[in-house]
Amino acid sequence: MSNAMNRSPVALDAGVLVASVMVISQLGRGPSALHLHLSGYIETRFWDQTVLQASHFEPAVRHAAIALGSLHENIHLWKRPDHCASVTDVDGSFSLRHYINAIICLRKLLPAPDSRSIELTLVCSAICICFEVLRGNDLSAYAHLKNALKIISSGQGQRTRPRLGNEIFSQATAAPFDDGLVQVFVRLDFQASLFSGMRPPALKATTSIEATEGVPYIPMRFTSLDEARSYLFAEVIQLYNFSRRTADQYRYRQPDTIGLEIIAESHKLDERLQKWLQSFDSFIERSSLTMSRKELECATLLRIHYKVTKIHLFNCLYTEETVYDRSDDTFQDIVVLSESLLTTGSLSKSPSFIFSLDLGIVQPLYYAATKCRYPPTRERAILLLHSFPRQEGVWDSVVVAKLAERVKSIEEETLSKSMSTNERVPEFRRIHSVDTSIDRDRRRTEVTYTQRLNGMDGEWDERIEWIYW
């Protein structure tokens, strides 16, 4: 650890802290012992370039970045067994002071209608979301997200633009938003939809990619991993809009009444996912030999997310939980690929506390642990969540490991302890949904499990309890 980082943050001047934030934001590269893997397994221009550039000249972004870097340092050092109060901002006053200053400066940007001020507002909002999530204040993070989504939605009639070279929010114009910046919020919006369990994504799937009549155009072969990810999330968002607005009505409220037009729509989504996979495989086949280790890890993560999406589409219209048994092999692939990233990936030798804002492998492993009832795969997914603690956005592996463990326990509580690998949990014991209300300060969550204990013709049964970690 450098001498500058050994001093109390209160004693650091802004210049030193901005420099340290830059090191932190670059995914742990450089001399700093801090590791803030904001973009997880996927490098993004937003954290590596945009935030750093904007922090040089915009006070709102600078204060927000300093607050985030200081908060992460506090959490990281307090988790170390040899932590010392003298090297941390014990009461959080330093990071909170800069966060408040960021909000004050942010309010001055809001009235300006030009694209430069709006983009800087969005950059600052993304950092503020990260700050609130990191300190466990999910509601405040969601408030920041809603405001940002309103700004972006108001300009969705315009196409976004790529940022050219080292362009740094050059001048005030009426130009469309930068597509890389918008994609950050497309993914945050989807994450909020996924975590809430009911809300469809607010942003359109065609926010920043080419589309025809509202349907994203998928090229024959992608030109980069970033492009592949943008198109995958466009398909994912279309699927979850279909799932939340249409499929859930049949899955939870009107079983056995699925119209042919609904089935046809699901088939179209499946065809598009298959086309994405073909374009992705074509790109990988052509480029894999020249890819860096980080890029190969990104490709693995995209394949994991594709498989999760495929399972969800395959089963979202059906009321029975037993339909997930058809996806045992795909669940196993998800767990195996996730384990390879956890054990041999670039983050495998990172310190005990890993935080990233983007979705990574925690949600896919939780999905496998709660929806796959093949015992070896399920148990392996839970073990990985326990063994490699990390937080990816609002998805905390420690918390979801406890949830998945409890779901497994409830489903299997009346079954033989010597279940063979060929046995499955019967339909009436299976949990259909898990709703949570997390209190991070008290390290607990209220959980509501939904089952049909009297069979598929019976009423929904709810079971509510508290889980602590």
User: Are residues 92 and 52 in contact, defined by beta-carbon separation less than 8 angstroms?
Assistant: no
Helix (H, G, I), strand (E, B) or coil at 431: strand
What pLDDT sits at residue 35?
A: 40
At 316-349, the pLDDT tens digits run 988 899 999 999 999 999 999 999 999 987 766 6
Average pLDDT over residues 286-294: 92
What pLDDT sits at residue 430?
A: 96
**CA atoms of 113 and 118, how far apart (whole Å):** 7
What pLDDT sits at residue 169?
A: 44
> How is 285-307 classified by DSSP, letter by letter?
HHHGGG--HHHHHHHHHHHHHHH
Q: How confident is the model at residue 290 (pLDDT cuts 50, 70, 90)?
A: very high
Q: How far is CA 148 from CA 34, 103, 141, 188, in A?
A: 29, 14, 11, 10
Is a pLDDT exceeding 90 seen at residue 275?
Answer: yes
What pLDDT sits at residue 257?
A: 73
In the chain, the amino acid numbered 233 is F
What pLDDT sits at residue 254?
A: 65
Q: How confident is the model at residue 78 (pLDDT cuts 50, 70, 90)?
A: low
**CA atoms of 133 and 98, how far apart (whole Å):** 16
What single DSSP character describes residue 123? H
Interior/surface letters 199-214, b for 16+ CB within 10 angstroms, e for the rest: ebbbbbbbbbbeeeee
Average pLDDT over residues 171-179: 54
Average pLDDT over residues 209-233: 81
Q: Facing residues of 446 across strands? A: 437, 466
**CA atoms of 83 and 88, how far apart (whole Å):** 8
Is a pLDDT exceeding 60 seen at residue 161?
Answer: no
Q: Facing residues of 464 across strands? A: 448
Cβ contacts of 107 within 8 Å, gap of 6 or more: none
What pLDDT sits at residue 423?
A: 81
User: Are residues 39 and 25 in contact, defined by beta-carbon separation less than 8 angstroms?
Assistant: no
Q: 45: left (phi > 0), else alpha (psi -120 to 50), else beta?
A: alpha
What pLDDT sits at residue 449?
A: 97
Is a pLDDT exceeding 50 seen at residue 60?
Answer: yes
Cβ contacts of 74 within 8 Å, gap of 6 or more: 9, 88, 89, 90, 92, 95
Average pLDDT over residues 420-429: 85
What pLDDT sits at residue 13?
A: 39
Query: Strand 355-356 vs strand 391-392: parallel, antiparallel, or unpaired?
Result: parallel
